[in-house]
Amino acid sequence: MSLKVENLSVSFSSGGHTVTAVDHISFEIPDKTIVGLVGESGSGKSVTAMSVMQLLPPQAVLSGSILWKGQNIMGLSNTQLRSIRGSEMGLIFQNPLAALNPVFSVGNQMIETIVLHQNVSTARARDIAIELLQKVQIPDAALRLDHYPHQFSLGMCQRLMIAITLSMRPKLLIADEPTASLDVTVQAQILTLLNDLKEELDMSILLISHDLGVIAQNCDEMLVMYLGKLIEKGKPSELFKHPMHPYTQALIAAIPSPFSKRSEVTHVLKGDIPSPLHLPSGCRFHPRCPKAFALCSEKEPRLEPVCGREVACFLATEATSNSR
């Protein structure tokens, strides 16, 4: 088991208010698997990603544990974390410009990283860099190595960041909306590339996306997040065929997807996600839930095993306990 997150909570305090962005979540990323994390904006996906990388700002208060290869990385020093980040865990995110150094050429940034992480000569590192640029579909790769980040378009910078991160050959790649700024064909190419590299490098991936289609096609396991809580976990094919949580049902109903039978799903999500400063009582989805009943505003449902997956909804858990 490469990554095991147990009871992770993250809160931020400012001006006398506390926002709990992530609330007691637990999940695992086994070796060589792609786990997808979905949820609306503000649900806590990026805070989860940054917690795993231990890159949250100092005002964030974390509890629980993040076990990487059995070791809790939560209490490690910055020096210890630096050796894990990069060579063991890599992060790609939506804003590529923040990850690229504007004063060094692309080749400079890549070759140095490859020499350091793969223990090869500079000449060999240059060839590897060219191969990686070709893999992320950057044309004229050999020529492009001498260019600086500002000479690339935003979509190309995104691909550059992916190439640079992958040149470190991480064992766990955290990809936070990695294809959000790319057009559909490039998106598909990048996702295919990530899948190929997963095999080639024995890498696991935490793939964060708003796009349920992306999750369905690329992930072995899917985590659905709502206002800081995980509300459903399972295999994408099963969740798409038969979503149990009304929130998952609404997310799937709202988008065209390869697995959903639209006739089975009638509810589409209404209203905005509530402010994390004023969380609803009981199940935090109940004010927007078309199936809510009295208990839902009184008691918070726990994530419980139901039919080979986990769901945090009284309807799902009661239906199975009644049928026992």
Interacting residue ranges for ligand ATP, rule: CB under 6 A: 12, 19, 21, 39, 41-47, 57, 276
| Count of residues that bind Mg ion according to CB under 5 A | 2
User: Of 8-16, 46-54, 133-141, 271-279, which segment contacts Mg ion by CB under 5 A?
Assistant: 46-54
Q: C-beta of 215: minimal distance to Mg ion in Å?
A: 15
DSSP-derived letter for residue 68 is E
- Which is nearer to Mg ion, 41 or 77 (by Cβ)? 41
Given Mg ion, ligand ATP, none, residue 86, with its beta carbon under 5 to 8 Å by kind, binds none
Given Mg ion, ligand ATP, none, residue 178, with its beta carbon under 5 to 8 Å by kind, binds none
Please report the beta strands in 169-208, taking only residues with DSSP state E, as ranges in sequence order. 172-176, 204-208
Given Mg ion, ligand ATP, none, residue 207, with its beta carbon under 5 to 8 Å by kind, binds none
Q: C-beta of 269: minimal distance to ligand ATP in Å?
A: 14
Given ligand ATP, Mg ion, none, residue 16, with its beta carbon under 5 to 8 Å by kind, binds none
CA distances from 213 to 106, 242, 246, 292 (A): 32, 15, 18, 27
Report the amino acid identity of residue 146.
D
User: Torsions phi, psi of 180, nearest 5?
Assistant: -60, -35
Q: C-beta of 55: minimal distance to ligand ATP in Å?
A: 11
Given Mg ion, ligand ATP, none, residue 12, with its beta carbon under 5 to 8 Å by kind, binds ligand ATP
Measured in Å, how far apart are the chain's first and last C-alpha atoms?
A: 32
Given Mg ion, ligand ATP, none, residue 39, with its beta carbon under 5 to 8 Å by kind, binds ligand ATP
CA distances from 270 to 14, 139, 156, 164 (A): 30, 44, 36, 40
> What is d(CA 92, CA 96) in angstroms, rounded to the nearest whole number?
8
CA angle 148, 150, 151 (to 5 degrees): 70
Sign of CA dihedral 28, 34, 38, 41: positive
> What is d(CA 136, CA 260) in angstroms, rounded to the nearest whole number?
31
The residue with tokens 């640029």 is: 133
Q: C-beta of 209: minimal distance to ligand ATP in Å?
A: 9
- Which is nearer to ligand ATP, 43 or 260 (by Cβ)? 43
Q: C-beta of 215: minimal distance to ligand ATP in Å?
A: 13
In the shown chain, the binding pattern of residues 139 to 158 toward Mg ion, with x for contact by CB under 5 A and - for none, equals --------------------
- Which is nearer to ligand ATP, 21 or 231 (by Cβ)? 21
Burial of 200 per CB tally in 10 Å (0-12, 13-18, 19+): exposed
Q: C-beta of 64: minimal distance to ligand ATP in Å?
A: 16
Q: C-beta of 39: minimal distance to ligand ATP in Å?
A: 6
- Which is nearer to ligand ATP, 54 or 317 (by Cβ)? 54
How many residues can be counted in the chain?
324
Q: C-beta of 201: minimal distance to ligand ATP in Å?
A: 26
* 46 makes contact with Mg ion (CB under 5 A): yes
Q: Which of 170, 168, 218 is nearest to 193 (CA)?
A: 218
- Which is nearer to ligand ATP, 21 or 25 (by Cβ)? 21
Residue least distant from Mg ion (Cβ): 46
Q: Is residue 87 a contact partner of residue 170, using CB atoms and an 8 Å limit?
A: yes
Residues contributing to the site for Mg ion (CB under 5 A):
45-46
